[in-house]
Structure 1
């Protein structure tokens, strides 16, 4: 009773919902409807025969003849189970069953007709009438099923469209159409595709998948006139050049449209399609085309070799491990001093690469006696040294810790690599080591100088190679995750200076450089990478806020906190007096920085390490400035030492 009352109060939309959710008609109801359709077909065929001025045979009353035809047809409907299918899911198989049942019934009637004719010389049924009946009954039975299927689809689409996000797809090529087809065929996706935006300005009077195509000019014009009733646009990032992507992103953001990034077709067809269709991120807009080098030599260098990665639980180290794991090494030793990240890395790597022999070691690289048994036991072929302290303000306040890890740690590892004849030692450095203005950059430059000096050390057979690059997207402590957290909290977004700029590259790209440098190097080189154009951090913050659907300074405030100790407005990849040499790849260069003799750098590093163990900050920085002549402190308590 209560259900009946509730249903009376339902609106039209609620009734549509019930129709869309209705499972299926009982089989006997479908059979009755089919019976009614063939009765109508009989009547229509009879009327057509009369209008053609053709007379039926009158051997038996017409009603008996019609009942005989209907009876035979119903018999074959039962045999072929034409009424068992769910009508809204009708397919070619269901239609073929109807056709087969009808053709069999007609052939049976014709056979009976001629058998009777052979016995009596009289015919019972008019053959043209059977032909008309066959055509009309098939047509009406087909139309009934297709009509019901169409109605259900329309109702279902209307029901889903109400809660779906209306979007356009940027592009009208084969890839765009294929992606649209996958989205339209997936009822779980929350998108309603309204049309396609052409890359070109030439108008076409055609539709794709029954959706309109707008030219670039038309789309922008309609946006300005507020005639576009959509909430977002799906972008196929791989199909666009960076300049084109920037143009379109600016257009969409200025008009408050959400920007969705399409995954590649392989992921789009997977069961995880819903998780793969995400809003575009700032990393997608900063990405450059990754360098592509011949991996043959890289694989040869690592295949069935034992590899050590220090700092292997960090963002850079972990990506090095992932890429090395793909090269089928004999064993990968992952060393880090951070317990929880190392454990998390162990779980991840064993799940991703179950066939790789991993060893996870908790150790501090400043402890020589802890490291030597490891080198002695495993006899490494390659060492990737990514362990370091890198946060500028923290290191500025704790220079002794920077020296113990960045200088002493590197010294320990490189000396052991030389002693145990490691084939190649690859150090991960930073652009902050160039003309450093902070302790962190200076400590990394000292580490570079020590590693370089070992190349010409007596009886050395190890090739010591350094790689130097800028900020890495998504790495631990980088600015983008920091901004993202601030935006999620409602702001404000904090920037140290409105004019600060930085170079960016992806983690995968940075590690690809590291691996290739380890292969290309002959020893003593500092490899630098073409980082592209620097990015203004203020513009980066504004774009991230807009990508979140908010307005800078209206919804999310931007405040300036002032340069932090040791921070500078821009980073450099090459020192002023360095010479750059080309390599076999146009994007990778060799920086020929001034080097030091081993005895000289060894003596100075021992001095700065001894001060570090006593935590004598001023003396530590004095020695660092003595080693790195170009080290000039900026916005730091150590500026007085430069005078």
Structure 2
């Protein structure tokens, strides 16, 4: 009951006029005290003269407080600025009192009115001490009650700079939780051992399990805005096994209206632990590249497509065209644009496999640039449906690219994947075929065809992190296909930025790959997600190994066999030098494959394996074709050399 009353009334603030009245009462009391002390703690002074002085002094004090506004501050949150304001008000009061006495001495406007100079000085000193002291006493009493009656959390703040101090003040001002800041942590040797508001600054090396248990630490809040990602990972790794939560202060640009409150402190997300600094692109050429262009985005409702739409909408485009077959998801993207005050777009529900529909869109909208992000991307599903994978990933790309070439679109940017490199799945092979077709088309088209490859995108539809989050919410276990599986990761905004940047620098025919740092072990990622959720592995949630899925790799690659790279002006973007293709034959075979009957899955896979030498199935029913393809190629090689089969070579085959 008492706790509820305190929580309720702690949300309310005392009237500033009540504070104003109390301040005047304190001024009056200290004025009497100044006379009492001045006359050796006796009342041997002229009380009549004192009573004449009181109303004039109160008028002067009222004017000083009104001018400075010292009574307007929230008493329980008194800080240095409030103390300075009290000093200004008292100094102004003493100055005005002295000025009026000097004027009255010259004019005798108020007969007999004077105040000894020693009383003025002593009164100003007593008033300042009493006004500040009462505020601090009230603040201490409030904080004591707050710590007694509401939840208390012992915290440490990582970062003893400006951001750390702002965080400390925000924690103090929280009325729902009593944050008891015990220590600051800082890497700066010069700050170690020093105090901030009486709180000691410690080095990170002093923080261990014994220290945390001894001081009963509940949370560590990372307030430093300049801390390296590697240090964050080291901090999380070193403390994540202890019973302590690790939280972060958002970047200053994300503070609400430039103000920071404790409610904005968030739990660390797995996205913060990529093992590399975030990729940021600040290229002014992008403004010129997209100025006045009509840009079409396919797969505009997907994870990458919707982020491309979001970032493209910030440029001065003539028009933005959104194409997707998912009606509900496309509607959501459209509503997001409206909420952001963007109206220069057209949302179109269409299937990229429908050549006539695509041609009509190009004819009506006349796009000058195309970003092609529409695709089927789930490896196990596509392993069971090669025909569907071909229809969307290959034939859809072919129809779109042919149409773009026919309408002389300036640039066509194709969003591919690292699964196209040395593919082990149907999905990866279809994306590689799409890359190859675009390369063939570049030889005969005015359109600049550009391909971008990158790895897994954090938070995208169907990716591992949303899956793990759902499994954690349900109490586990987390399912993992193999303990040693690794993946490259990047965030959705990073992926979209790099696609736009690659589209800007592309001259036609390039395959751009992105430097995503070190690959991440998914088993470690799963353990960290469990711990970041405040749970223990394996006591609270375990990890279940289910075995590799059809077509799945243990690790992804960014370069195929026989490929190497060229650098660009952006250190995170490289150009892959792919093997030379027999463009006429490859293009013809891809076109033939696109009209394959839907019931010929085995035939489709065999043709893809013949077309892509590096395509070797993994953990899939189609592995049986790999040896057959090798035999076919060996026989073809023998025949091409004009040789005939003897019994021995037939046995070898």
Superposition TM-score, scaled by structure 1 size: 0.86
1:152 aligns with 2:138: yes
Q: Measured at CA, do residues 263 and 523 of structure 1 come closer, stay the same or move farther in structure 2, by a change above 3 Å? A: same
1:318 aligns with 2:306: yes
The correspondence of residues 225-244 of structure 1 with structure 2, limited to 5 A, is 226-236=213-223, 238-244=225-231
1:42 aligns with 2:35: yes
1:491 aligns with 2:476: yes
1:81 aligns with 2:26: no
The correspondence of residues 199-598 of structure 1 with structure 2, limited to 5 A, is 199-200=187-188, 204-220=192-208, 223=211, 226-236=213-223, 238-268=225-255, 270=257, 273-274=261-262, 276-286=264-274, 288-291=276-279, 295-354=283-342, 357-457=344-444, 460-598=445-583
Q: Secondary structure at the match of 2:300?
A: coil
Q: Measured at CA, do residues 342 and 151 of structure 1 come closer, stay the same or move farther in structure 2, by a change above 3 Å? A: same
Q: Measured at CA, do residues 275 and 565 of structure 1 come closer, stay the same or move farther in structure 2, by a change above 3 Å? A: farther
Asked if the contact 2:164–2:224 (Cα under 8 Å) also holds between the matched residues in 1, the reply is no
For the residues of structure 2 that align with 1:300 and 1:400, how far apart are their CA atoms? 41
For the residues of structure 2 that align with 1:148 and 1:21, how far apart are their CA atoms? 19
- Cα offset, 1:414, TM superposition: 0.5
Asked if the contact 2:448–2:508 (Cα under 8 Å) also holds between the matched residues in 1, the reply is yes
Q: Measured at CA, do residues 32 and 264 of structure 1 come closer, stay the same or move farther in structure 2, by a change above 3 Å? A: closer
For the residues of structure 1 that align with 2:492 and 2:6, how far apart are their CA atoms? 53
- Cα offset, 1:327, TM superposition: 2.6
- Cα offset, 1:539, TM superposition: 0.5
1:638 aligns with 2:622: yes
For the residues of structure 2 that align with 1:510 and 1:114, how far apart are their CA atoms? 80
Q: Secondary structure at the match of 2:214?
A: coil
Could you say which residue in structure 2 is the equivalent of 1:70?
Answer: 51
Asked if the contact 1:486–1:493 (Cα under 8 Å) also holds between the matched residues in 2, the reply is yes
Asked if the contact 1:313–1:342 (Cα under 8 Å) also holds between the matched residues in 2, the reply is yes
Q: Measured at CA, do residues 401 and 273 of structure 1 come closer, stay the same or move farther in structure 2, by a change above 3 Å? A: farther
Could you say which residue in structure 1 is the equivalent of 2:607?
Answer: 623
- Cα offset, 1:22, TM superposition: 7.9
Asked if the contact 1:308–1:382 (Cα under 8 Å) also holds between the matched residues in 2, the reply is yes
For the residues of structure 1 that align with 2:394 and 2:319, how far apart are their CA atoms? 27
Q: Secondary structure at the match of 1:254?
A: coil
Asked if the contact 2:412–2:447 (Cα under 8 Å) also holds between the matched residues in 1, the reply is yes
CA offset digits 1:75-123 (Å, max 9, x no partner) = 431465379947974956666555555666677678778989xx9xxxx
Asked if the contact 2:154–2:182 (Cα under 8 Å) also holds between the matched residues in 1, the reply is yes
Instruction: Report the more deviating stretch, 31-40 or 137-146.
Output: 31-40
For the residues of structure 2 that align with 1:296 and 1:110, how far apart are their CA atoms? 66
Could you say which residue in structure 2 is the equivalent of 1:23?
Answer: 14
Instruction: Count residues in correspondence.
Output: 610
Q: Secondary structure at the match of 2:482?
A: coil
- Cα offset, 1:541, TM superposition: 0.2
- Cα offset, 1:216, TM superposition: 2.5
Q: Measured at CA, do residues 571 and 144 of structure 1 come closer, stay the same or move farther in structure 2, by a change above 3 Å? A: same
CA offset digits 1:387-440 (Å, max 9, x no partner) = 000001111112211111101100000001110111111111111111111111
Q: Measured at CA, do residues 625 and 353 of structure 1 come closer, stay the same or move farther in structure 2, by a change above 3 Å? A: farther
Q: Measured at CA, do residues 392 and 17 of structure 1 come closer, stay the same or move farther in structure 2, by a change above 3 Å? A: closer
- Cα offset, 1:580, TM superposition: 2.5
Asked if the contact 1:368–1:412 (Cα under 8 Å) also holds between the matched residues in 2, the reply is yes
Q: Measured at CA, do residues 372 and 139 of structure 1 come closer, stay the same or move farther in structure 2, by a change above 3 Å? A: same
Asked if the contact 1:202–1:215 (Cα under 8 Å) also holds between the matched residues in 2, the reply is no
- Cα offset, 1:33, TM superposition: 5.8
Q: Secondary structure at the match of 1:642?
A: helix
CA offset digits 1:115-162 (Å, max 9, x no partner) = 89xx9xxxx89x8x8233323333333333222211221133334444
Name stretches of at least 5 consecutive residues in structure 2 with no aligned partner. 628-653
Asked if the contact 2:233–2:275 (Cα under 8 Å) also holds between the matched residues in 1, the reply is no
Asked if the contact 2:26–2:130 (Cα under 8 Å) also holds between the matched residues in 1, the reply is no
- Cα offset, 1:446, TM superposition: 0.9
The correspondence of residues 87-106 of structure 1 with structure 2, limited to 5 A, is 89=75, 91=82
Asked if the contact 2:424–2:617 (Cα under 8 Å) also holds between the matched residues in 1, the reply is yes
For the residues of structure 1 that align with 2:308 and 2:491, how far apart are their CA atoms? 13
Asked if the contact 1:475–1:507 (Cα under 8 Å) also holds between the matched residues in 2, the reply is yes
For the residues of structure 2 that align with 1:237 and 1:641, how far apart are their CA atoms? 56
Could you say which residue in structure 2 is the equivalent of 1:59?
Answer: none
For the residues of structure 1 that align with 2:456 and 2:490, how far apart are their CA atoms? 6
Q: Which of the numbers 129, 132, 153 marks the counterpart of 2:118?
A: 132
For the residues of structure 1 that align with 2:99 and 2:303, how far apart are their CA atoms? 76
Q: CA-atom RMSD, angstroms?
A: 3.4
For the residues of structure 2 that align with 1:15 and 1:323, how far apart are their CA atoms? 47
For the residues of structure 1 that align with 2:486 and 2:5, how far apart are their CA atoms? 56
For the residues of structure 2 that align with 1:177 and 1:27, how far apart are their CA atoms? 30
Q: Secondary structure at the match of 1:402?
A: helix
Instruction: Report the more deviating stretch, 585-594 or 572-581.
Output: 585-594
Asked if the contact 1:37–1:141 (Cα under 8 Å) also holds between the matched residues in 2, the reply is yes
For the residues of structure 1 that align with 2:303 and 2:616, how far apart are their CA atoms? 29
For the residues of structure 2 that align with 1:498 and 1:421, how far apart are their CA atoms? 49
Superposition TM-score, scaled by structure 2 size: 0.84
Q: Measured at CA, do residues 35 and 435 of structure 1 come closer, stay the same or move farther in structure 2, by a change above 3 Å? A: closer
- Cα offset, 1:230, TM superposition: 2.1
For the residues of structure 2 that align with 1:469 and 1:108, how far apart are their CA atoms? 78
- Cα offset, 1:318, TM superposition: 1.2
- Cα offset, 1:292, TM superposition: 5.2
Q: Measured at CA, do residues 221 and 67 of structure 1 come closer, stay the same or move farther in structure 2, by a change above 3 Å? A: farther
1:608 aligns with 2:593: yes
